Amino acid sequence: MKKGEAMCKINLLILDVLKPHKPDIMELCKDVTECTKNISVNARVVEIDEKTESIQLIVKGENIDLEKIKETIEKLGASIHSIDEISMGYELISSKEFARIN
């Protein structure tokens, strides 16, 4: 491992995604899970409009490839509105810990 490489490793991502109703949330989760090795995905519908829905996508893993995830999401016709939370480095810092520090 090169010096500094570990620091760039993403181990948690929380994304705000806007998507059409179809492909559905199952399809999105499946494709995102398949795009990087050893990751877990959780998706939750936050808001439903007439033609679109907003999804909160939580991706947890050892070395998350953000670019690949972005590509997969775009291929499904969805788009990333914002990156709401990101965790990088050796150890995953949980949201609870984050809240405690603040």
Partner 1 sequence: MRFSKIIYYLRITRNLEIIRRYFITNGFDGTITIMGVVLGNLYAGIIEPFIILAAGLGGGIAMFISGISSVYLSERAEKIKEFRQLELAMGKKLARSDIGEAIRIVPFMTALASGFSPLIASLLILLPFMAVAGADTFTINTYYQSVLISLLLLSSFGLMMGKVARQNIWKYALKALAVGFVTIVVILVIGQYLLNI
Nearest to 68, CA basis, from 34, 22, 102, 25: 34
CA atoms within 13 A on the CB side of 69: 26
Fill in the per-residue mask, 9 to 28: x = in contact with partner 1 (CB under 8 A), - = not in contact: ---------x-x-xx---x-
Closest CB to partner 1 among 27 and 97?
27
Q: How far is the CB of 52 from partner 1 (least distance, A)?
A: 5
Quick one: CA torsion of 25, 33, 84, 5, rounded to 10 degrees? Answer: -170
Pick the closer one to partner 1 by CB: 20 or 89. Answer: 20
Count of residues interacting with partner 1 (CB under 8 A): 15
Nearest CB to partner 1, comparing residues 54 and 63: 54
35-94 positions binding partner 1, by CB under 8 A: 49-52, 74-79
Binding site for partner 1 (CB under 8 A): 18, 20, 22-23, 27, 49-52, 74-79
